[in-house]
């Protein structure tokens, strides 16, 4: 294998000069630069990326921290991050945090030492010291905002308003809102958006805290529907919860959408596989991941940022769990 010494010999300069040239880390005369460039070309010298990392402290690797890749929202996000990273010559390390601050901290610490270039993070811990003091570029995705960390998120509040109106326009008279975990910013924004619209509608409503988890949502909705048989609309803050609600309705023999209409939030691929297909407030998950990756790489490469908060619009996708709009 050709070494840096071979290149230096061929170019008639010192190894230090070759290193300065290759790593762009100090003065090299025009003449020396040309000689090194020619020698590199002639000898087909490939710069060892690990040696280069040691000089530049860059690896072209970014970390993606998600709570759990098996939650169907995150594979679509991961796919976008990897696709866009690849076009910039970056690869992606996948980290499942389980929302555990210790795990997040360990990941950041371990990968920082390996000169990872930056992180895209979906976490509720963004104000925790391991993020606040991190000496690396970082972009927050979907969740919580720290003033120093650029954030990419959907217009959750507005989106929830759209979902709520979809149920009202279709004649619902008593709506159950499945609110997500209270520690989750997007869930709270969706709750606000629901309240913005329902508050002025005069329509009866009921709010239940409900984790973004299929079986638990199914159980919660089954028990509520058994007690409150006049509920004719459910708006769930996540598609997984909406799927649980649909399953509960099926179990209880409640016909969807004739007796009960359901709207979800997320737009994950699973929604169309359900019967009937799930009407949902769809986030542009791929676009969120793509923007976050571009913003991160810009920061890594010290390019100026235009903005600090990126809001990605949602879109109402009408499928079979809702009826036609009443005239």
Residue ranges binding its own copies (CB under 8 A): 46, 48-51, 53-54, 59, 61, 64, 68-70, 72, 74-76, 78-79, 82-83, 91-96, 107, 110-111, 113-115, 214-215, 240, 243-244, 246-247, 250, 269-270, 272-277
CB of 56 to its own copies, least distance (A): 10
19 alpha carbon, distance to own chain's centre: 39
Task: Strands of the chain (E only): list them.
Answer: 61-66, 91-96, 118-121, 138-141, 151-154, 174-179, 204-209, 233-236, 261-266, 279-282, 309-312, 315-317
Residues 6+ apart with CB under 8 A from 288: 77, 80, 141, 142, 152, 153, 154, 312
CB of 273 to its own copies, least distance (A): 4
Q: Which is nearer to its own copies, 8 or 64 (CB)?
A: 64
Q: Which is nearer to its own copies, 69 or 132 (CB)?
A: 69
CB of 10 to its own copies, least distance (A): 22
Q: Which is nearer to its own copies, 122 or 185 (CB)?
A: 122
Q: What angle do CA 209, 188, 287 make, to 5 degrees?
A: 115
Q: Which is nearer to its own copies, 37 or 93 (CB)?
A: 93
CB of 87 to its own copies, least distance (A): 12
CB of 52 to its own copies, least distance (A): 10
Residue 161: CA count within 13 A, CB half-sphere: 13
CB of 96 to its own copies, least distance (A): 5
Q: Which is nearer to its own copies, 108 or 195 (CB)?
A: 108
Residues 6+ apart with CB under 8 A from 213: 240, 241, 244
CB of 190 to its own copies, least distance (A): 21
Q: What angle do CA 214, 218, 224 make, to 5 degrees?
A: 145
Q: Is 245 within 8 Å of 187 (Cβ atoms)?
A: no
Q: Which is nearer to its own copies, 59 or 164 (CB)?
A: 59
Q: Which is nearer to its own copies, 23 or 96 (CB)?
A: 96
DSSP 13-74: S-HHHHHHHHHT-S---HHHHHHHHHHHHHTT----HHHHHHHH---SEEEEEES-TTSTHH
Q: Which is nearer to its own copies, 96 or 146 (CB)?
A: 96
CB of 101 to its own copies, least distance (A): 16
Q: For 230-261, what is the HEC assignment?
A: CCCEEEECCHHHHHHHHHHHHHCCCCCCCCCE
Tokens of 273: 């596989």
CB of 144 to its own copies, least distance (A): 23
Q: Give buried/exposed letters for 74-94 (b at 16+ CB in 10 A, else e).
A: bebbbebbbebbeeeebebbe
Q: Is 48 within 8 Å of 34 (Cβ atoms)?
A: no
């Amino acid at each position: 294998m050709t070494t840096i010494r071979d290149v230096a010999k061929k170019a008639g300069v010192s190894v230090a000069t070759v290193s300065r040239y290759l790593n762009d880390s100090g003065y090299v005369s025009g003449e020396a630069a040309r000689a090194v460039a020619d020698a590199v070309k002639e000898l087909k010298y490939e710069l060892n990326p690990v040696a280069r990392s040691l000089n530049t402290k860059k690896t072209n690797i970014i970390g993606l921290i998600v709570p759990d890749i098996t939650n169907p929202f995150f594979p679509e996000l991961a796919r976008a991050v990897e696709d866009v990273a690849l076009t910039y010559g970056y690869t992606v390390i996948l980290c499942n945090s389980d929302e555990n601050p210790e795990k997040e901290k360990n990941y950041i610490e371990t990968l920082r030492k390996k000169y990872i270039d930056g992180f895209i993070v979906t976490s509720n811990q963004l104000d925790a010291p391991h993020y606040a003091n991190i000496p690396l570029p970082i972009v927050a995705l979907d969740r919580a905002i720290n003033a120093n960390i650029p954030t990419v998120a959907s217009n959750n509040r507005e989106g929830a308003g759209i979902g709520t109106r979809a149920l009202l326009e279709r004649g619902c008279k008593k709506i159950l809102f499945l609110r997500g975990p209270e520690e989750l910013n997007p869930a709270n924004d969706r709750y606000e958006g629901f309240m913005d619209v329902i508050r002025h509608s005069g329509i009866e409503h009921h709010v239940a805290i409900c984790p973004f988890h299929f079986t638990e949502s199914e159980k919660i909705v089954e028990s509520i529907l058994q007690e409150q048989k006049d509920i004719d609309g459910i708006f769930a803050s996540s598609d997984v919860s909406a799927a649980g609600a649909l399953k509960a309705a099926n179990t209880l023999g409640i016909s969807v959408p004739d007796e009960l209409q359901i709207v979800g939030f997320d737009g994950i691929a699973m929604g169309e596989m359900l019967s009937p297909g799930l009407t949902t407030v769809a986030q542009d998950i791929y676009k969120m991941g793509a923007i976050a990756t571009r913003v991160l790489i810009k920061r890594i490469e010290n390019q100026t940022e235009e903005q600090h908060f990126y809001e990605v619009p949602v879109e109402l996708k009408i499928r079979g769990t809702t009826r036609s709009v009443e005239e």
